[in-house]
Structure 1
Amino acid sequence: MHAAAADGVPQAPQGSAAPEQQQQQQQPSQRQDDPGSTLQQEHNAANPAQGPPARQPVPAPVGAYTQREEHLMRQEASGEIEFAYVLNDGQPINLIRLMGLKVIFSKQLPNMPREYICRLLLDRRHRSCALVARNGQVLGGVTYRVFPQQGLGEIAFCAVSASQQVRGFGTRLMNHTKAMARDRDHISYFLTYADNNAVGYFKKQGFTREITLPRDRWVGFIKDYDGGTLMECAIHPKLPYTDLVSMFRVQKEYLDSQIRQLSNSHVVHPGMPRQRLPMPGPSHLRVQDLPVPMQPGDVPGVKEAGWSASGKPGYKFMLRDNSVVDATPSNLHTYLEELLAALEALDDSWPFRAPVDPAEALDYYDIIHDPVDMLLIAGRLASRAYYASLEMFVADVRKMCDNCKYYNAQSTPYYQCAVKVQNYLDNYLDATVTEAAAQQQQPQQQRS
């Protein structure tokens, strides 16, 4: 009928650490036990004579969408939230919820006249799917008109309260709307005119600009609105819209079983024993014992991953004073300090300078299980014991940016900052890390 508005989903702060991960309405979850050690314990209990196995598989991880949906499903099961089918049938509870929807639509859709919103909500040909909290407060909803003879519905309004956005409610709300429209109203298509701000939301919910519905089924029923984009969504007759995660898990398990036949990426090697050498002198005077040094090749799984012993790094560093130095531990530390300072001074690095606040991104630490931020990187660098190579430092920075891009939508400023930081890192490395072999060849070419 007219422009439908998405739930505004301005994604939460980025992907640094202390997303999903990402999160719920609680403090970040505590670190889980190592899955590899759990499997190893189970194996040892069942086969005490065989000893610990060399390697153990772990389950395939679930994605951010699955974790969000599972969290909301738990909230539904506990009664914290409810998705209610609402229409103007004269029942007091439905009238109260319709008025709650009117308040939200009026605030979130300021270009819509309030009288127009109220008229459509109370129209008996319209249905609504309302997101309702335990205390009865309406948090969001979708309103659509049913055309039973045409087997379609037209979405009129779609909005979530500003205080409840960035929590996955918009997607869950649309999934419930599809299920209700199919099972209760027996329609198989949704049409809507989406304004520019809502096109992205509807696209993520399965809507497309390509209209496959025959024109004679909707022309004359759906009014044309200037400035709106007509979008269509086919409602599948069998898809479990309110329990898609179960279907995804079955698909993931099958794909993972096929991948494991071709790859060992799922294998978890046993951890390293915690060995320490005693400090000299009486035990009561020791501050701590010294860790036992070990070669990289002695770490379980390193050789299996393709690592081989090599000499010194085949590159050199160009420091801030334009001097080119070998990749010694001291020079590496100096170079990494300069690189981190350059990243921190970058205007687009502001989302990464401190850990993500769980009060702003409630589910971040449920989704992002390995958070990284510049404060953490600085601490690791200051210890002088963590970054043994340039590759380890670069991996942390890339992980920081990848977390941000995984948690936030591509259209958000956080995602764009992550891309710019990654591009800056690549350009910095290209300009300041030189191949030692290439430098040795240049004098030979000059002599020839």
Structure 2
Amino acid sequence: MESADTEFKAPSQIGDRSTSDVVVRLRTQEGRDEWLYCHSHILVDKCKYFADRLSENWPTCQILDSRNCVEVYCQESDFDYHVNVLRLLYVVTDGSVDDMWCGVRNAVGILRVAVVLDCPQIVAACFNYLEAVPWEEGEEEEILRIIPSMGVQAEPVLARLQPVNPSAIRGLFLSAIRFATSSPLSHLKDLKSTAQEQLEYMITEDDDGPILTTDDEIKSEVKECVKILFTGFSNLLEAMLCDHIHSNSEEEKLQLFKSHLSDLLWACQILTKMEIMREFVGSWVDASDKIVKVIQQERSTAEMVETKYKVIEVASKVLETIGYGTVILPTTKRLHMLKVWLPFVRVTKPLVDSLTANDEDTVEFKIDGELWQSLESTFVSIVLALPSMDQAEILSEWLENEHIKYPDLTEAFEVWCYRSKVAKRRLTLYGGSLV
């Protein structure tokens, strides 16, 4: 009859000298040297490298103690990973192990060594772990450097990094654009901002190409979504002009108005990148009188100055597309835009400057330092594209205005003077005639 010791043999443990029959000696060129007391039946069963080293076929197997001590040379950076692999040989079963990885980087290091030593169960356990946990960016770079060369077994780990099917990209983009252009709701503000940022990123070409190709179908959907967004803004304008929002306080109305402006400013960015600004420009031109009227009927407060600044941010995008010919408008509409926005901008800029100069640390909204200069150049471009008589009207009003310093139309004035002086001679020279 077998003894109890035979029936219930205690499991082997790494480092147990009393039961160990083989020493693994880890060494580095830097002189690091560590002896680990192991068990041949575990090493042979779970690691092909040690199975070969401990077999009769290994060239040095007949040398005294060669089968009792296996020397393994490694890089200093991989030393701890070798130790971990040896420890894991004692606990990994059927390609799984409890939480012993201590993070993604450690798992990648262990995987690298386990592949070299040919430990299939540890390799499988590493892949299972890496496939299931999130990665930080630096860890992701390490995975991309190591994993792709490891064959079919690595495919589940790399699945989250593979290029996405174009139809899935389109579906996600369309869902996001509909959400990003939905009615402004305060409790969804952060979510909408994130969606808007990522939509812009998806179609931006930087070091990498855009994720999405903006074909006619995509452009049509974007235009429709922005149209709905602008319709909501127009309805708000009408309600504010007629004072129909009795259920909302003045502050709530202003917040809703600002939310719409933020969405419209973002829409300008998207439409400009996709080169489909025409409809938006037309809608803004038609609504310009109402926008200015609404904003001027509100009390002058710091928050109102911020709102006026947001209005100018959107208006500047529209004026820029007009001034540089991205969107072509007839003379009457271009002249109308100047007559609406020149007075508004020249009165608003001193308010913004005063607010930021007096209390710069407490100003909550971000000031674009290049906005005013860019807007001034845009005004000059629009003025110079008008018939000379209309230019004269705009320039006369500018010279008589108390806010002559901004926008400074000196360049337009100089060009107008030159053109006017040489007009008769030039037209005659080239066979034209004066009307």
TM-score by shorter chain over 0.5: no
Q: Which has the larger radius of gyration?
A: 2
Q: Which has the higher contact order (CA 8 A, sep 6+)?
A: 1
Q: What TM-score do you get using the length of structure 2 for normalisation?
A: 0.20
**Structure with more helix by fraction:** 2
